[in-house]
Amino acid sequence: MASFNQTPATNFNRSTPNDGNLLGSEYARLYENDAILKAEIDTLSAGLQTLETNVSNLNSTLTAAIAAKVSDVPNWAAPSTSVAPSQKATNNRIRRFVQMFSGWFVDTWITRTSAADNGWYGVCWSPQLKLFVAVSQGGTTNRVMTSPDGITWTIRTTPNQTFNSVCWSPELNLFVAVAQSGTGNRVMISADGIAWASQTSAADNSWTSVCWSPQLNLFVAISYSGSGNRVMTSPNGTAWTIRTSAADNNWRSVCWSPQLNLFVAVADSGSGNRVMTSTDGITWVTRTSAADNSWFGVCWSPELNLFVAVAQSGTGNRVMTSADGITWVTRTSAADNGWYAVCWSPELGIFVAVAGTGGANRVMTSLDGITWTYRNAAVAANVWSNVCWSPELGTFVAVSSTGTGNQVMTTGMLGKGYYP
């Protein structure tokens, strides 16, 4: 490359050869430094283009690598261990902020049009399918309805048993529903919530509730009828085995605690023994209930390490709690309504219970399971029989066994992205 001329010729006169309009040697001498600068700029430009290409390729590589590790559906049960501490702190602050307003959020319920007025008794959410499934006791070959958002519901073809409960197994990608009627076929299953198939039940008992244990890879169902056989279990939803119940009580609801490795079931009959527990779903032990109320619903909060049960009877004590499933304490309910079901939202840090009796106050909520506040249901006269939570949508969905075209209600939807 040529070097700069420190003293270029800048003075020209008529006697200079090739003078005139500086089209001769004077032109070359005058602009020789410009030519040198242009050459260097061209070299630098070519280098920058190469660098830009390399950076672009690196950016594409890093973007692909990050995308492979990032999901737009957060997994609260098993959060990523590769999240930066600063991001974790931000996530926790956002979650705490959302929880500050959880009481306000569950104070407003909205009526939704049910797909049919069948009398809905069970509802659950599948994160994998992004689908709500509800089951009913009434209707003709249409005892399931599904919804991707809790708002728009579609009827599905089913057997004609009186279905009480439905649950989802993420490990098996399977819905299982149980019924209180039918001959040898009081179970049905579905992989998508749309196509349902009857399965042979272990006994023709009145099966009221079913739940799944991921740790044991086991479904457990309980019943309010039968003689010493009011529990059945299955590893796959198709083959069921009878288990000896701890007592022949009217067992109404069962749930699983992964942290305690414990099933807990509650009943609406019995004398001082309206709770039973099991570590494996096979061997069951009665526990002293806090009161002989008609216990209809039970759920577990991993964050609070607490079971909460709700009842349809009792005076000011229609809630009981336990940290271990063994020792139970009554709590003051927000109202003496007939409470059917209770569920927990880890994201909002709140329990929600629904009732079948009372005035407009057929919902009650609690941040700790101890202090309860009543809320107004979307329809005061409906018998709200069950409630579930969708973390992905940020909404509660409750179903009713009565009502005309309005047997579903939801909270407002925080929507996808309301938490990290």
Domain boundaries in the chain?
A: 24-70, 95-411
Give the number of other CB atoms < 10 A from CB of residue 57: 10
CA distances from 178 to 19, 135, 210, 260 (A): 106, 9, 7, 25
CB 294, CB 318: distance < 8 Å: no
Q: What pLDDT does 219 receive?
A: 99
CB 27, CB 12: distance < 8 Å: no
Burial environment of residue 23 by CB neighbours within 10 A (0 to 12, 13 to 18, 19 or more): exposed
Q: What pLDDT does 10 receive?
A: 55
CB 244, CB 260: distance < 8 Å: no
pTM for the full predicted model = 0.77
**Pairing mode of beta strands 395-400, 384-390:** antiparallel
Q: What pLDDT does 102 receive?
A: 65
Average pLDDT per run of 10 along the chain, which is 420 residues long?
A: 56 52 55 72 78 66 54 50 50 56 77 97 98 97 97 97 98 98 97 98 98 99 97 99 98 98 98 98 98 98 98 98 98 98 94 96 96 95 97 95 97 60
Q: What pLDDT does 339 receive?
A: 98
**95-411: what CATH class?**
mainly beta
